[in-house]
Amino acid sequence: MKENQTKELKLLERRFIELSRTAYQREIITFSDFLNLNEQNILHTLPKEDLHTSLFSFGGYALAERQMAAFIPDALYLRYGKRTLSEDEIGYPFSVLSVTPLNRKFSEELSHRDYLGALLNLGIERSKLGDILITEDEAMVFVHNDMCDFISEELTRVRHTMVRVTRKERIGTDYRPDYEEIRGTVASVRLDSLLPLAFSSSRTKLSGLIEGAKVFVNGRLVTSNGYQVQEGDIISVRGMGKFRYEGAGQRTRKNRIYVVIHKYV
């Protein structure tokens, strides 16, 4: 298994390097598919000398977990006469689809897993799908442009609920998903102290997730239980969700620290 993982890692690294080389040689922007947190970590830890271009990642809004990487040659900056390009100028090839029930009165309460399962059952690869954001009225799905028409025509049911799919204007980069505010006390502002508060689980179980390379801070893999979290950090745990550390307050008489976190729902 370890050999297979190493082989997959090398293939992914070569893919990123090839995308960067193509962008440089053809003086165009090239894009990856949607990358999960682990793939983003691999990309951003590649030695800079292996890449021929600059790169930026974006998933539709600032807090997006799944993101596309854009490889941008220096020649393009000269063409635009700018040092940086906006997301619109880069032109990431994805759109936002809105999925809503045909009859809200008889619709089920659907989860992220329900929507994702319905999409994957259509035969769509996970790499063509970005984040799925669920509100009271709809699910917003970030989708590679190649798949938009197919999904619009073929996605008619999620579990037992009949749905319609329409294209939606892109949401602002400052969009923040709904969250639950959690207040509590911790012994210290370490990663292994905050996770149990956020996910209502034991410290032992969640420490194993850190050591098992399942936890990311601001998109970067962290494997140290003692990592000191900073105000504003976004902590993502694969398969469990993510939260934002808002900050610390006063200490209790037992020298524990009051903290506030926003857990995204």
Q: Which domains does the chain have, with CATH numbers?
A: 2-89 (3.30.1370), 94-168 (3.30.70.330), 179-264 (3.10.290.10)
Token digits of residue 238? 């694969």
Distance between start and end Cα atoms, the chain? 34
Give the C-alpha separation, 109 to 126, whole Å: 23
Q: Tell me the per-residue pLDDT of 38-57, one tens digit each, with 9 for 90 and over.
A: 899 899 889 989 999 999 99
Q: Tell me the per-residue pLDDT of 107-158, one tens digit each, with 9 for 90 and over.
A: 889 999 999 999 999 999 999 999 999 988 899 999 999 999 999 999 999 9
- pLDDT value for 208: 85
Q: Please determine, for residue 2, whether its predicted confidence score (pLDDT) is greater than 60.
A: no
User: Are 240 and 229 spatial neighbours (Cβ–Cβ below 8 Å)?
Assistant: no
Token digits of residue 53? 């271009």
Give the C-alpha separation, 19 to 36, whole Å: 17
Give the C-alpha separation, 113 to 119, whole Å: 10
On average, the pLDDT of the chain sits at 91
Give the C-alpha separation, 130 to 140, whole Å: 10
Q: Please determine, for residue 237, whether its predicted confidence score (pLDDT) is greater than 60.
A: yes
CA 76 to chain centre: 27
User: Are 97 and 151 spatial neighbours (Cβ–Cβ below 8 Å)?
Assistant: yes
